Amino acid sequence: MTRVGVDVGGTFTDLVAVRPDGTLEIRKVVSTPTDPSMGLFRALESLGMGDEGRGTGPVPNPQSPTPIDVLVHGTTVATNALLERRGARVVLVTTAGFEDLLWLRRQDRAALYDLAKAHPEPLVARRDVVGVQERMGPDGAITALTEREVSRVTDRVHSLAPESVAIALLFAFRHPEHERRLAAALRAGLPGVPVTASHEALPVFREYERTSTTTAEAYLRPKVAAYLRKTWALAEQHGVKTLRIMTSSGGTVSPEQAANRAASLALSGPAGGVVGARLLGAAVETHDLLTLDMGGTSADASLISGGVALTEGAESVAGVPLALPAILIETVSAGGGSIASVDEGGALRVGPRSAGAEPGPASYGRGGTEPTVTDACLVLGWLDPQYPLADSVRLDRAAAERALSTLPLSHDVCVIAAGIVQVATAVMARALKRVSVARGIDPRGMALLPFGGAGPLFGCALADSLGMSRVVVPPHPGVLSALGLAAAPERVDVLASLHRSLAGLGDGELAGAFRPLVAAAAAALPDAGLTRFVDCRYQGQGYEVTVPAPRDDPSTLAATFRAAHRARHGHGDSDQPIELVNLRVVAERPVALPVSDGGRRRGGDEGGAAMGRRMIVTRDGKRVRADVWPLGELPAGRQLNAPAVLAGPDATGLIEPGWLGTVHASGAVILERT
């Protein structure tokens, strides 16, 4: 069975095909921001053309040269819709008196020390919020929902001519009857208009996050559904038998499920990278990892502990809270295409603006003129201007130097370039600290796994910033996200709220509460493995810790929670009563990939000879001569002395002075501080 993972990024589209014998085929093409599916199918068409085939035709060819059993797609269509505010026009239906909930938000500030900075506007206009005369309390109906009110609300929503409708009523997570009646009436009265009810999208407590998530789902669903329909139709034309879509939780779903869970795709692409990092970590027997995916437009930091990716909910994407299961990912604007500038105070900045794929960095020769991180790396000699990045993109050093010279900092472009990479390193280091130090985890006992097209260039610098002594460079870091997509399990998450004191649980009560969730998960993904989790907290706390609940034993659950709370927050021996808040069931069907070594590309030249030497400039401005080694094609056990450049077909790495590299059997290069 041939499985293919395709990761559509802001600058490049990456593809990894895993053949039945375990061999990998890798492709990288330029993304097409106006139509992401175009880059996807250009990458597919390049399969079977040999290592130099790049698929340059602008129109997809229905006759794919290679049969594909499963195509797993990581898409940014939902993320881009939130960032660019190009979703559907939503009408929100909510309990009367709570129409301003999305504007009131929480008490947190957009910026702690900037009193003038405002939060992003909600995804719905205030004039498009319809209040309903009804009220549910924790024990049931307080104000009944009449048929006359249902008709009035339906007529009012119809008059607003929405493209999508969201319904979020108070206590609908526990008593969804009023939402069900309104949803049925609106679906009948507005045929063809998607209607999203909160008890279907997110049946858990906290009305602000539930309303925000439901609104985001309604906002994204039409655009995501249209994209998936088009993609699936084209995939069938290309001979793809099965299409799976990556979700933020690190698993895949069918296109039909994804169309009805559009908000769960907000971190689709970055989640694939974490799955790939976990796969490589297992191959090199390193299970505690800080990961950094540095692509063309941004860098994504995450954490893997004990071989498991850290998952948290209630995160924000583009300023929109989404309380859905998602791998913890901290995104910063420090990609290869991030634009460097000088602010009003004369300080050098990197990002948040990006050159993207069109026109791209100045060195791409596609019309860009502003200096970027990629231009700086080229000027320092870290990148080879003779080596194509993707398609026909070759780097132009002279163009990079002209772009950097526009910054009023120095007459020496190497000094400017070194400053840019230092600022970019600081930005990414802060993201890594937010997913580790800010959560009570000491990064010094972990390994750093940088990947993406530019990540391995910054591995040593980032490790130095965090006091880490070990860096793992994948054999093909530029396409690790695509490999993670191909290896991602099928997964479904089912949630429900249960507010109970742990000590007050009766015999069999927890099992009874889990029973409908287990049934729903088993029905959504038959023959899958089921894992139960409980969100717990000490009484009076405003946050929870998610812990596994394999048995209905309150004492075991209490001990598990206290240990997890201690690891997360530094204390866990409180005598305070423990409360249960939410129940979760994860159905997961793993994928048996023949790749067992983390992604070494078989069949290549493993002679391991150096490709030559060239002069580079280190981040502290020193000019040194570095060996150039073929990343992914080196024999196991080979030692690589610094300074050295690791030149791969999809990414480039850097071994800085003070570090020593050793090639692992997987093809990964393990860097250790000397």
Q: Are 425 and 65 a contacting pair, CB within 8 Å?
A: no
The torsion angles phi and psi of 172, rounded to 5 degrees, stand at: -70, -20
DSSP string, 418-481: HHHHHHHHHHHHHHHHHHTGGGT--GGGSEEEEESSSGGGGHHHHHHHHT--EEEE-SSGGGHH
Q: Which domains does the chain have, with CATH numbers?
A: 3-80+226-330 (3.30.420.40), 89-193 (no CATH), 338-424 (no CATH), 491-589 (3.30.1490)
Q: State the average pLDDT for the chain.
A: 90
Torsion, Cα of 431, 435, 437, 440 (10° steps):
170
The 10s digit of each residue's pLDDT in 414-427 is 999 999 999 999 99
DSSP run (H or E) holding 340: strand 338-342
Rounded percentage of the chain residues whose pLDDT exceeds 90: 68
pLDDT band at 595 (very low <50, low <70, confident <90, very high): low
User: Region 530-535: what's the mean pLDDT?
Assistant: 96
Q: Which of the listed ranges 52-61, 88-97, 227-236, 549-558 does the model predict with the highest average pLDDT?
A: 88-97
pLDDT at residue 596 greater than cutoff 60? no
495-522 pLDDT, tens digit per residue, is 999 999 999 988 889 999 999 999 999 9
Nearby residues of 482 by Cβ (< 8 Å), 6 or more positions away: 5, 6, 7, 14, 15, 16, 74, 272, 276
pLDDT digits (tens, 9 = 90+) for 327-370: 999 988 888 999 999 998 899 999 888 887 778 899 988 888 99
Q: Quote the pLDDT of residue 607.
A: 57
Q: Is 504 exposed, middle or buried (0-12, 13-18, 19+ CB in 10 A)?
A: exposed
Of the candidates 480, 151, 174, 553, the residue with the CA atom closest to the CA atom of residue 472: 480
pLDDT at 53: 38
Q: Which of 347, 338, 405 is nearest to 372 (CA)?
A: 338
Whose tokens are 């069918």? That residue is 254
pLDDT at 248 over 50: yes
* pLDDT score of 52 more than 60: no
Tokens of 371: 């200096």
